[in-house]
Amino acid sequence: MRVDQTDKGGFECVRKFLRSEDVEAIVTLNAPDQRDIADYDCPATPQEVRLVRSVSPDGSASHVLMTNLLDSQAFPVAEFSELYHQRWRIEEAFKRLKHRLNLEHVSGLSQLAVMQDFAAKVLCDNLQALACLAAVADEPLRAGRRINHGYAHTALKRVLPPILLLAANAISLLKEAFLLIASSTYLHRDGVSKPRKPRDKPHKHLSNKPC
């Protein structure tokens, strides 16, 4: 996990590590309080972890990663930057669920309503992923191009209701959606960083329920 954003608190050992010039360090975290133990089922004893400094490819940014992989020989520092970068796909999946599919914007406040909304939105995201794979299989992308998953949600949103109601036209509607998805791509460049501008999260009011 990334732990260098300590402007709102954080670990004292991380702040000390940031002030140093070390590339890695083994530190011991304090034992959690009783409430955290009860809420998160975490160990009640101090935990030993490893701090690793990860520098961006252009050298403009330095991050601190915390891991329980303590063996420096088996897991060298140099491998963590690439490993950290690979988790970006997971972050993008969370962004799609939270913002494209409004995961936190539920249609009801009961436990059942929240569970149904959560399951439906995860299902929609999985359908989107499968549709993107099918679109690429039908229309292979040019070198360096990648599917715009944000637009894929928009393309599927238009065709899913007719497919469910008019099964006879399902194949033609899906093929049309696949063509739209395959035509909406972007150019990916390895090593290029595009930091996001800080802004408020677009949480909608519960009175504005989605269709």
- Per-residue pLDDT, 68: 92
Instruction: Confirm if 14 and 3 have CB atoms less than 8 A apart.
Output: yes
What are the domain boundaries of the chain?
12-86, 89-187
* pLDDT score for 204: 64
The pLDDT of residue 182 is 86
pLDDT at 179: 84
The whole-number pLDDT of residue 70 equals 93
First-to-last C-alpha distance (Å) of the chain? 36
The reported pLDDT for the residue numbered 167 is 64
* Tens-binned pLDDT, residue by residue, of the chain (211 aa): 888 765 555 788 888 898 888 999 999 988 888 888 888 888 889 999 999 998 877 777 778 999 999 999 999 998 888 888 888 788 888 888 888 888 888 888 889 988 998 998 898 888 888 888 888 888 788 888 888 887 888 888 777 777 666 666 777 778 888 888 888 888 877 766 666 677 776 666 665 555 4
